[in-house]
């Protein structure tokens, strides 16, 4: 069935380095792709989204890249900090599905001092 999934379950990153979190998706009809961050003991929190007609969007220290040819989404975090340690989920939404958010499996990012 349609799904949004992740390549790597755990990513260890040295503090100060850049992090890249990857996500594969299967539904070409998605209107938006979104990244969420979940810290331990908390609910997920919105980071950034990208419309399907774009290929890049930048936020504060984060950049999302969308490659529709290979159905691949990535989140890049610049100068990774200890506070970036969390689980990151990609998600997609479609207007035709009432904007329901469908989440991928998550990647745990561990920042090493």
Partner 1 sequence: GAGVSQSPSNKVTEKGKDVELRCDPISGHTALYWYRQSLGQGLEFLIYFQGNSAPDKSGLPSDRFSAERTGGSVSTLTIQRTQQEDSAVYLCASSGQTAMNTEAFFGQGTRLTVV
Site of interaction with partner 1 (CB under 8 A): 31-32, 34, 41-46, 49, 51, 89, 91, 93, 95, 97-106
Please tell me the distance from the alpha carbon of residue 76 to that of residue 98, in angstroms, as a whole number: 28
Residue whose CB is less far from partner 1, 7 or 49: 49
Nearest approach in angstroms of CB 38 to partner 1 is: 8
CA distance to 82, 105, 113, per residue, from 89 (Å):
18, 7, 23
Least distance (Å) from partner 1 to the CB of residue 16?
A: 27
CA dihedral 89, 104, 66, 35 (to 10 degrees): -20
Q: Which is nearer to partner 1, 80 or 93 (CB)?
A: 93
């Amino acid at each position: 069935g349609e799904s949004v999934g992740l390549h790597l379950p755990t990513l260890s990153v040295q503090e100060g380095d850049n992090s890249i979190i990857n996500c594969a998706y299967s539904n070409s009809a998605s209107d938006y792709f979104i990244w969420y961050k979940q810290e331990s003991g908390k609910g997920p929190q919105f980071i950034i989204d990208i419309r399907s007609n774009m290929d890049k969007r930048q936020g504060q220290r984060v950049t999302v890249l969308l490659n529709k040819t290979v159905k691949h989404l990535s989140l890049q975090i610049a100068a990774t900090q200890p506070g970036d340690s969390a689980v990151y989920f990609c998600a997609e939404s479609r207007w035709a599905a009432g904007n329901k958010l469908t989440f991928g499996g998550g990647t745990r990012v561990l920042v090493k001092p």
